[in-house]
């Protein structure tokens, strides 16, 4: 069992915002691989499926961003899996738009959702940061991350979500080192 969690905030007012790109990545993969919805459990919207020999549980925590760790902890405990079998996808304002970065582990940085996860399950989980930056100087951080993507960015999102999906499947199938070598050096087309 592999758990793949995409971070975001529930509710229509947050749908499609920069901060919810983790949710968008899960939605993309659920559609791409025809995962089955398993309802709401682990304080999350849950989807299950198989890709090759791998059984995958995809989560969209509904705890709001700052308590994402609660949901992931519940799923991890239920399936009795180590943190090393968890992949978290989230937005990163410090990474330029269109760039994705994969890491084996690490600290939470300034991201409140990641702080919650590290607090609940430690820092030995894999993560994929999707760049949503840079933040324009005139914007407050909260206003920027909760804003919609502009017209150009919306056109580019399908490619970013495909790259993220490919990165997740590469991690699962070939290992994180191969995925980091393949995806961390990609540069944006803008």
Give the 3-state DSSP-derived string for 36-96, with helices as H, strands as E and coil as C. EEEEEECCEEEEEEEECCEEEEEEEECCCHHHHHHHHHHHHHHHCCCHHHEEEEEEEEEEE
**Backbone angles phi and psi of 2, in degrees to 5:** -120, 135
Contact 122, 152 (CB under 8 A): no
Cβ neighbours of residue 85 under 8 Å, at least 6 residues apart? 1, 2, 3
Active-site residue flag, 119? no
Contact 95, 111 (CB under 8 A): no
Q: Which of 19, 55, 111, 119 is catalytic?
A: 19
Catalytic residues: 19
């Amino acid at each position: 069992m592999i758990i793949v969690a995409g971070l975001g905030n529930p509710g229509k007012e947050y749908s499609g915002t920069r901060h919810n790109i983790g949710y968008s990545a899960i939605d993309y993969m659920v559609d791409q691989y025809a995962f089955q919805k398993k309802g709401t459990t682990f304080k999350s919207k849950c989807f299950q499926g198989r890709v090759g020999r791998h059984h995958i549980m995809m989560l969209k925590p509904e705890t709001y961003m700052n308590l994402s760790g609660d949901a992931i902890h519940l799923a991890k405990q239920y399936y009795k899996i180590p943190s090393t079998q968890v992949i978290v996808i989230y937005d990163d304002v410090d990474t330029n738009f269109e760039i994705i970065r994969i890491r084996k582990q690490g600290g939470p940085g300034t991201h409140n959702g990641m702080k919650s996860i590290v607090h609940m399950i430690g820092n030995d989980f894999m993560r994929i940061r999707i760049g949503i930056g840079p933040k324009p100087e005139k914007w407050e951080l909260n206003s920027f991350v909760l804003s919609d993507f502009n017209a150009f960015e919306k056109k580019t999102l399908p490619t970013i979500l495909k790259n993220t999906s490919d990165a997740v499947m590469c991690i699962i199938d070939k290992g994180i080192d191969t995925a980091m070598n393949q995806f961390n050096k990609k540069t944006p087309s803008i």
